[in-house]
Amino acid sequence: MAAVEPPPPPTPTPEPNMNLREDHPNPTPLYTRIRLATPSDIPFIHKLIHQMAVFEKLTHLFQATESSLSSTLFNSPPFQSFTVFLLEVSSTPLSLHHSPTLSLFQPIHKTLQIPPSNSISDSEELLFRTDEGATIAGFVLFFPNYSSFLAKPGFYIEDVFVRECYRRRGLGGFLMRAVANQAVKLGYGRVEWCVLDWNVNAINFYKKIGADVMQEWRICRLTGDSLLSYGQPNY
């Protein structure tokens, strides 16, 4: 599924959630970090993709297992094929140095001044707790695509997802921007993703950051039995 979570505009100085303000008159910092995922993050990635399927009411299409993710992700160096960034959050500062993939990608840190949501379920939080004591709040899955006119690679963002209790804080935009930033670093020509045509909030955000929404193009998808049938070597 393509980037369906409508990321609100990134908010360098975010407004506190007004509903929570009375309970939390003094917003505390929320430390966030985007880092490369590693094979040991597969259980987190699996749970996040499942939550995305639930959010999109598409659980009937959800077939991923930890094993199938494990055998299809992390087979190439990051950025050369399917790549996952994880978003971590913590109420205490996140280490600037602890990251198994530090040499491949310098994690991006950002501190938000937003009170923690009071809707966070402790039992769900535990499922997303890292060894370092941070919490996995979301992810972005992307991979290289190619423009033959530019003769340059780009990135295609397949998924952006932020867990429900961490939404409306600009974190989806934070993840997308990390991909755009990496594309610029590598001298790539484009970043592309998809949006549903009725998702006006997301479309407005994408236009605001300068993206073109291609009105005339339609994606064609050949899958399942149709693919098996058409793809037979029967020339």
Which residues are the active-site residues?
A: 206
Q: Which is nearer to a copy of itself, 110 or 168 (CB)?
A: 110
86 binds a copy of itself (CB under 8 A): no
Q: Which of 20, 104, 165, 195 binds a copy of itself (CB under 8 A)?
A: 195
Of 13-21, 113-121, 122-130, 220-228: span binding a copy of itself (CB under 8 A): 220-228
190 binds a copy of itself (CB under 8 A): yes
Binders of a copy of itself: how many residues, by CB under 8 A? 85
198 binds a copy of itself (CB under 8 A): yes
Using CB under 8 A, which residues numbered 9 to 28 contact a copy of itself? 10, 12
Total residue count of the chain as it appears in this document: 235
Residue spans of beta strands (DSSP E) within 20-72: 29-36
Using CB under 8 A, which residues numbered 121 to 150 contact a copy of itself? 141, 143-150
Using CB under 8 A, which residues numbered 30 to 49 contact a copy of itself? 49
Distance of alpha carbon 213 from alpha carbon 215, whole angstroms: 6
57 binds a copy of itself (CB under 8 A): no
Q: What is the 3-state secondary structure (H, E, C) of 90-133?
A: ECCCCCCCCCCCCCCCCCEEEEEECCCCCCCCHHHHHHCECCCC
Of 67-75, 86-94, 118-126, 128-136: span binding a copy of itself (CB under 8 A): 67-75
Query: How far is C-alpha 199 from the geometric centre of its chain's CA atoms?
Result: 17
Q: How far is the CB of 218 from a copy of itself (least distance, A)?
A: 5
Which positions ≥6 away from 105 have C-beta within 8 Å? Answer: 35, 36, 78, 182
Which positions ≥6 away from 170 have C-beta within 8 Å? Answer: 7, 8, 9, 10, 11, 14, 112
